[in-house]
Amino acid sequence: MSVQIATNVGPSHLAIAYERFGDETRPPVLLVMGFGTQMLGWPDGFCEMLVAHGLHVIRFDNRDVGLSTHLANAPVPNLAAALRGDTSSVGYFLRDMAADAAGLLDVLGIESAHIVGASMGGFIAQTLAIEHPMRVRTLTSIMSSTGSLAVGQPSPAARMLFLRPMITTREQVMARAIETAAVLGSPAYPTDPAVLAERAGAQFDRSFDLLGVARQGLAVIASGDRTARLREVRVPTLVIHGTADQMVAPSGAQATVDAIPGAELMMIEGMGHDFPRPLWTEITARIAAHTRRVV
């Protein structure tokens, strides 16, 4: 396992950083991470558990985070204006990020894969199933929603996280990760603050780009509601969500299940907006079982 860089990926011709785990002849699972989070958001141990289920795992950095292309020449994102309905500063949309994922599969010579997305990664995974259905064997949408403003909205405490002062140093990033987890973490499965700080520090060391993260946020806002088009999705779909998710209310999971024909819902008691280690075995086993619905 080592980081590799795929070049000239997708219609935007980006460089996308990725890692592969396990036997490349086994069924491929593409892991799509969420807002502002690098592929390290899929912990090594989580990936290795999927490999133990006989899967070939690929994780990657979305555009504007980690070691993938950062679109520094894009318009300066104005999130405040976007929240008022003015998305003129958008640099790209979720469909472009989905095209990146499809383009990475092209570079790797993979015709189709099991797609697993978490949070914004779930938005991207859903969009991939909508825009590129032949590339998706199964869809797993975790701690995600449909894009409708009527469901899946953050709690007041989660909204306050977006109003905090800007941070710039490694120490500040580590401290903020602990602060964020106090609101968004799984109350039934708290993560050691030292582990949270270490993960945040590792991500800071790889890359730190606040404007890139803002561009991703603007893409989410500007891409709108997917509900109507989710009704077109025909791949086997699993929706996983925590009952204690403060960032994406569980109503977002239910709306996703209601929109996609035949989708299955797995609610996990006491899980928040994170991947606590005690739940890895349960979640990876359920994902693996889901992939076996398609040969």
* pLDDT one digit per residue (tens) for the chain, 295 residues: 689 999 999 999 999 999 999 999 999 999 999 999 999 999 999 999 999 999 999 999 999 999 999 999 999 999 888 888 898 999 999 999 999 999 999 999 999 999 999 999 999 999 999 999 999 999 999 999 999 999 999 999 999 999 899 999 999 999 999 999 999 999 999 999 999 999 999 999 999 999 999 999 999 999 999 999 999 999 999 999 999 999 999 999 999 999 999 999 999 999 999 999 999 999 999 999 999 998 6
Contact 186, 276 (CB under 8 A): yes
Strand order of the β-sheet with 113-118 is: 4-9, 14-21, 56-60, 28-32, 113-118, 136-142, 237-242, 264-268
Domains of the chain, by residue range, sit at 4-153+210-291
- Asked whether 227 and 257 are in contact (CB, 8 A), the reply is no
Residue 142: strand pairing partners: 118, 240
Residue keyed to tokens 């005690």: 278
CA distance 58 to 10: 17
Reported as half-sphere exposure (CB side, CA atoms, 13 A), residue 76 has a value of 1
**Residue-level pLDDT at 12:** 96
Tokens 């907006």 identify what position? Answer: 273
Please list, in sequence order, all residues whose beta carbon lies within 8 angstroms of the beta carbon of residue 28, skipping any fewer than 6 positions away.
55, 56, 57, 58, 108, 110, 113, 114
Instruction: Check residue 295 and give its pLDDT.
Output: 67
User: Tokens 């398609």 map to which residue?
Assistant: 294
CA 187 to chain centre: 21
Phi/psi at 30 (5° precision) = -100, 120
Architecture of domain 4-153+210-291: 3-Layer(aba) Sandwich (3.40)
